[in-house]
Structure 1
Amino acid sequence: MSENPIEITPAAAAHIKDNGGVVTVRLAPRHGCCGGVASLAIAEPRAPDVPADYANFDLGGIRLFIAHELVGEGLRIDCEGWWKLRRLYVDGAAVQTPRQH
């Protein structure tokens, strides 16, 4: 793939490199109070438990593992917070909910 599969801001890149140089982007279920569930894209500064389940890319010093369904979705990883309370987040992903017809 010639394009980057995801945009990583300079602040997020620095945070990822400070935490081992690996990031995983995946969908994580979030459960609502009334029994609903939605999947949100999250970024974690670690390798996935099962790397074979992810597309992976070397992005100039950062090893990216990204869920196949999120590749090419126009996502961006950024970082927020201060000092040791910094965390990564994914912007641009639509919330995905299971629908039964």
Structure 2
Amino acid sequence: MAHKSPLDDPESAAFAWARYRRIMRFMFLLTVGVVAIAMALLYRHGAEEVSIHFYIAVALGVGFTMLLTSALMGLVFLSSGTGHDEAIEDPLRDDD
């Protein structure tokens, strides 16, 4: 039988999801900063001859990559930090 997950408790789940949203807000602000720095560096180092589409593609690529990575890593931290990972039943575990 599977163990009860700590995320089944509403108070624990609310705390965990609030922490996740806080991480995502920070990562969004960091992503905006990194994209702005990337655009400034591209412009400064001779990419002013390229099309505006190049800047849009770079901004979207860097932004989506950073946000997707931070969202997935945030979910890993949420799962591990709340004890949700230990609540599963592992049929391959060798119980001595």
The TM-score bracket by the shorter chain reads: under 0.3
Larger relative contact order, structure 1 or 2 (CA cutoff 8 Å, min sep 6)? 2
Q: Which has the higher helix share?
A: 2
Which of the pair has more CA radius of gyration? 2
Select the structure that is richer in strand: 1
